[in-house]
Amino acid sequence: MNIYVILKQTFDTEEKIVIQDGQVSEEGVKYIINPYDEYAVEEALQQRDAHGGSVTVLSIGPGRTAEALRTALAMGADEAVLIDGDRIPSDEFSVSQVLAAYLSKQNCDLILAGYFSVDTGGGQVAVRTAKLLNLPHAAAITKLKISEGRAVAVRDAEGDTEKLEVALPALFTAQQGLNEPRYPTLPGIMKAKKKPFKLLALDDLGLTESNVASKTQRTALSLPPARKAGQILKGDLNEQVSQLVSMLRTEAKVL
């Protein structure tokens, strides 16, 4: 079974976001594998171990993204592919076009990705990629069973669950609870240094910058306003209610 995992490198979730000149500052920032993508990597490894085959982790980004891919290799993935993102906008349309261009040339039995990335939270890239590849897909899965060329997935459905059965090849996005990602071991880290690691550019995929031109444009980026100090309402209950209603109308403007 040929399994591919779409992976993104994101800020460590403990990092403090700093905005400078309308951009997120990357100075001194620690990067990690997008947490939801870790579930996808782990599921890929378990499916490979159960059914045989190989796991290839795939990412688009700058040179530093290699660190996230090597972490996935240390977890147990067999190969890694990094597509240089310097000429590729971060727009979901653009990224999915590039991923589909690469994956369409591969013999994929199963494609896994995270439900969404913690930096943008759009949750569109994997779904768009599945559409471009004309593959069935299921989002936010919490269980996956594969047998005889078919996959049965249980997906999170806003507090409930749904069970879906699709024919392979197919694409699934991983939700929290699908599994418990393993930690890279020291032997795994040493082995990762010798595993195949391919670097590609836009031209290698037969694409030009016009093919992947962004469909959206960011006009502004700012942090939310600082939270104001709380207030203690005084007086009897009727007076407090009156004050609260007045504040909701004049300050919060929600009434």
**pLDDT tens digits, residue range 42-76?**
999 999 999 999 999 999 999 999 999 999 999 99
pLDDT at 22 over 80: no
Does residue 181 register a pLDDT over 90? yes
Q: What whole-number distance in Å separates Cα of residue 138 and Cα of residue 170?
A: 8
Q: In what order do the strands lie in the sheet with 137-147?
A: 160-167, 150-157, 137-147, 170-174, 110-114, 2-6, 54-61, 79-84, 197-200
SS3 state at 183: coil
Answer yes or no: is pLDDT of 103 > 80: yes
What is the biggest distance separating any 2 CA atoms in the chain, rounded to whole angstroms? 73
Question: In percent, how much of the chain has pLDDT > 70?
Answer: 100
What CATH fold (topology level) applies to the domain 2-205?
Rossmann fold (3.40.50)
> Do 173 and 141 meet the contact criterion of CB atoms below 8 Å apart?
yes
Gap between the Cα atoms of 155 and 170, Å rounded: 14
21-44 residues labelled b (16+ CB within 10 A) or e (exposed): eeeeeeeeeebbbbbbbbbbbbbb
pLDDT of residue 228: 79
CA 42 to chain centroid, in Å, comes to: 14
Mean of the per-residue pLDDT values for the chain? 93
From CA 119, how far away is CA 15, in angstroms rounded? Answer: 11
Q: Indicate the pLDDT class of residue 25, thresholds 50, 70 and 90.
A: confident
Of 46 and 24, the structure prediction assigns the larger pLDDT to 46
The DSSP call for residue 140 is E
- Cβ within 8 Å of residue 134, ≥6 positions away: none
Look up residue 133 and give its DSSP letter.
Answer: H
**Is pLDDT at 170 greater than 90 in this prediction?**
yes
Predicted confidence (pLDDT) at residue 234 exceeds the cutoff of 80: yes
DSSP β-bridge partners for residue 112: 5, 172
Residue 229's pLDDT is: 81
pTM, entire model: 0.88
Can you say whether the dihedral through the CA atoms of 164, 167, 173, 177 is positive or negative? Answer: positive
Between 251 and 125, whose confidence is greater?
125
Q: How many CB atoms lie within 10 A of CB 154?
A: 19
Q: Radius of gyration over alpha carbons of the chain, in Å?
A: 22
Mean pLDDT of 236-246: 91
Amino acid in position 45: L
